[in-house]
Chains A and B, each alone.
Chain A
């Protein structure tokens, strides 16, 4: 990367900072209105109780649990994309990591609120540590999710430290209020070799740490279902299935966010078709893995015609939930995977559309896990019904809008592409080149 390209890269990375143009305010306004509607619905529910939802004595978990699993899943994809790209030292990662890490935090913040929304007595949420029973999967969730929240904030923040100076410089003297905040956030970063080493080590540790942490979060989320005796839930494959589902939906969400931000912030020069191709490969690999897990789950459970699972599988394949199931399997999994990697024109647009379908499909899949499992006749002929009310729908839409809102606001203060990371990757490449040549020149038998 020559100095001119680097200049343009920095320009694009800081372009949204401090920019209060019409589009920014319109998008913030619209998204805030949606979030406000969701908050209003939540307050309405806090005042009146869970009776305002479509939940009932039979189906006592619904949209909120689905959303919790869904949003935390998306968060995992963001964290994992970035962690894997760092650990494998993928040179093309620089323009993507910040977006992936920010998406992870935004989705996690939203997802982590859902267990509280779902509580019958949210006022007692803080009593959980007092009485915590460590045999309960709920406690495993509380521990895992709260650890993961801290870790993903750190994972976003560490690579951000050197970029705080870039952001501060981009803003110039325009804000007297923000300058001291940037100063605090930069932690006295001056880019000395010792600081660079410490930062590199810190990011390396976090990139390794975030993977088992996220695996643990999704495993215990799966155990919430798998430890019960319900048909379709009590399955040993549930924990890895949830982990893979999280990765799949998360990578799809990252592609979606990257597609959108690339356009909005004009990053076309730096986030190219190549990035989308690589991300699509990742998406397809995960999708095929998920398909395999899912088929092996259904075959294992379905073959036995066990009394507890058969009604659930029937309802999913041919019964009341069949439209959702086939929409997910074909429209949300098989078709988008083909669409994403098929050769031909418009690779970026196809990757975007495919990701959107996968994200929607993965939400449907979580619905297909939670609701039929609750509605199934655990007592003879006692099928439950569930149709969400405006409260659940409004909270769901509001929370989904919160993610782009958080991102748009975040990138108004911090570079959308990591500048320091690009310098590092480029620097490493430049240093590596002559060494490589020497190695090749002196290379022997391999």
Chain B
């Protein structure tokens, strides 16, 4: 699937290579190659990647370009906000923006309750939905504590590529009567591309990363994931539910950590 390389992507690729080569040399880790043609489903030492995301709330300005890009990428109607930007008011009355993709929970409540195993976890830790199997009972929507799942009540819009067959990794077009959700754009990352939302974020607030190789990138800078979330006191939303989300938030705008 040849796709035009945007200026951003090109910059991302170059930036990643340039900046992270130096980091890699210094720390001994290999950079994550987000560029076309570089197959990135595996780390250089052939382990499956474990995708994770870091969302820097200090940077997010709530423009919802991530949501738009996601909807374009997956040919979704406007009501389908697989990555949804919430406007949250903290206890001091200040408002900040909080994008919510699917958290790809390690202990995913949606996965446990599915009666037909239409929801499953891929090798790379991403929770996927097999819409050929889904019976549309919506138990997973009741079980998800983050409201990250969306049900296709109506026929999805006509697909741009009508001959493409949807797969769990690339569920486009969506199937009516079944449930869909964010899948970290695994159809893009496998080709070394950034997820649509990460690529579209003008504020560079979204990072896609790999827990195994311990790196993350927002397309411009590449960071060591564990260090990045530790230094910035990153938290996971409703971590007390022990769902084990793979999305980390860096709080900003002065809100209290226990408030979000």
Q: Are B139 and A131 in contact (CB under 8 A)?
A: no
Given contacts A49-B177, A128-B116, A138-B113, contact A119 B136 (CB under 8 A): yes
CB distance from B174 to the nearest CB of A (A): 11
Contact between A121 and B177 (Cβ–Cβ < 8 Å)?
A: yes
Q: Which one, A58, A138, A225, A382, contacts B137 given CB within 8 A?
A: A138
User: Are B115 and A50 in contact, with the CB atoms below 8 A?
Assistant: no
Stretch at the interface among A163-171, A173-181, A355-363, A372-380: A372-380
- The answer to whether the Cβ of A230 comes within 8 Å of any Cβ in the partner chain is yes
Q: Are A374 and B116 in contact (CB under 8 A)?
A: no
Shortest A134–chain B CB gap in Å is 9
Q: How far is the CB of B196 from chain A (nearest CB, A)?
A: 20
Q: How far is the CB of B214 from chain A (nearest CB, A)?
A: 29
A55 touches B115 (CB 8 A): no
B109 and A132 form a contact (CB under 8 A):
no
The chain B residue with its CB closest to the CB of A138 is B115
Complex Cα gap A338–B179 (Å) = 47
| Contact A61-B142, Cβ < 8 Å, known A120-B178, A131-B133 | yes
Q: How large is the interface on B (under 10, 10 to 19, 20 to 34, 35 or more residues)?
A: 35 or more
User: Does A301 count as interface, using CB distance less than 8 angstroms?
Assistant: no
CB 8 Å contact bits of A101-141 with B (1 = contact, 0 = none): 00000000000000100111100110110111101111100
Contact with A119, one of B88, B135, B141 (Cβ below 8 angstroms): B135
Does A228 lie at the interface of the complex (its beta carbon under 8 Å from any beta carbon of B)? Answer: yes
Q: Are B86 and A382 in contact (CB under 8 A)?
A: yes
Interface residues of A, dominant DSSP = loop
Indicate if the CB atoms of B136 and A51 lie closer than 8 Å.
no
Q: Is B138 an interface residue (CB 8 A)?
A: yes
Structural contact, A229 and B88, CB atoms closer than 8 A: no
Q: Among B80, B177, B241, B243, which residue has its beta carbon within 8 angstroms of that of A50? A: B177
User: How distant is the Cα of A142 from the Cα of B137 in the complex, in angstroms?
Assistant: 12
Question: A186 at the A/B interface (Cβ < 8 Å)?
Answer: no
Is the CB of B48 closer than 8 A to any CB of chain A? no
Complex Cα spacing A41 to B113, Å: 29
Q: Establish whether residues B135 and A120, one from each chain, have CB atoms under 8 Å apart when the complex forms.
A: yes
From B80, B86, B115, B154, A379 is in contact (CB under 8 Å) with: B86
Whether B109 contacts A229 by the Cβ 8 Å rule is yes
Contacting pair A138 B86 (CB below 8 A): no
Whether A120 and B115, one on each chain, are in contact in the complex, defined by CB atoms closer than 8 angstroms, is no
Q: How far is the CA of A184 from the CA of B142 in the complex (A)?
A: 47
Asked whether A224 and B139 contact (CB < 8 A) given A50-B177, A136-B112, A382-B86, the answer is: yes
Contacts of B114 in A (CB 8 A): 133, 136
Q: Report yes or no: A128 in contact with B146, Cβ–Cβ below 8 A.
A: no
CB-CB < 8 A to A51: which residues of B? 153-154
Q: Does A60 contact B (CB under 8 A)?
A: yes
Nearest CB on A from B248, distance (A): 17
A60 CB contacts on chain B under 8 angstroms: 138, 141-142, 151
Contacts of A379 in B (CB 8 A): 84, 86, 100, 146-147
Measured CB to CB, the closest approach of chain A to B78, in angstroms, equals 12
Q: A118: nearest residue on chain B (CB-CB)?
A: B137
Question: Would you call A57 an interface residue if the criterion is a C-beta within 8 Å of the partner chain's C-beta atoms?
Answer: yes
**CA of A328 to CA of B108 in the docked complex: distance in angstroms?**
36
* Known interface pairs A138-B115, A139-B115, A229-B241; A120-B177 also in contact (CB < 8 Å): yes
Q: Which residues of B contact A374 (CB under 8 A)?
A: 142
Q: How far is the CB of A207 from chain B (nearest CB, A)?
A: 32
Q: Which A residue's beta carbon lies closest to that of B79? A: A57
Once the chains bind, are B112 and A57 in contact (CB under 8 Å)? no
Tell me whether B137 and A131 are in contact (CB under 8 A).
Answer: no
Instruction: Name the B residues within 8 Å of A346 (CB-CB).
Output: none
- Which residues does chain A contribute within 8 Å of B88, judged by CB atoms? 380-381
Residue B164 interfacial (CB < 8 Å): no
Contact B146 A378, beta carbon cutoff 8 Å = yes
- B71 CB → nearest A CB, Å: 14
Partner of A133 from the list B79, B115, B179, B241 (CB cut-off 8 Å) is B115
Q: Report the separation of the CA atoms of residues A60 and B238 in the bound assembly, to the nearest whole angstrom.
A: 22
List 7 contacting pairs A-B, 8 Å CB cutoff, sorted by A: A49-B154, A55-B151, A115-B137, A120-B134, A131-B115, A225-B142, A379-B100
Known A49-B176, A120-B177; further 8 A-B contacts with Cβ < 8 A: A49-B177, A51-B153, A57-B151, A120-B178, A131-B118, A135-B113, A228-B109, A379-B86
- Counting from the closest, the 5 A-B pairs by CB-CB distance are A120-B136, A120-B177, A138-B115, A51-B153, A51-B154
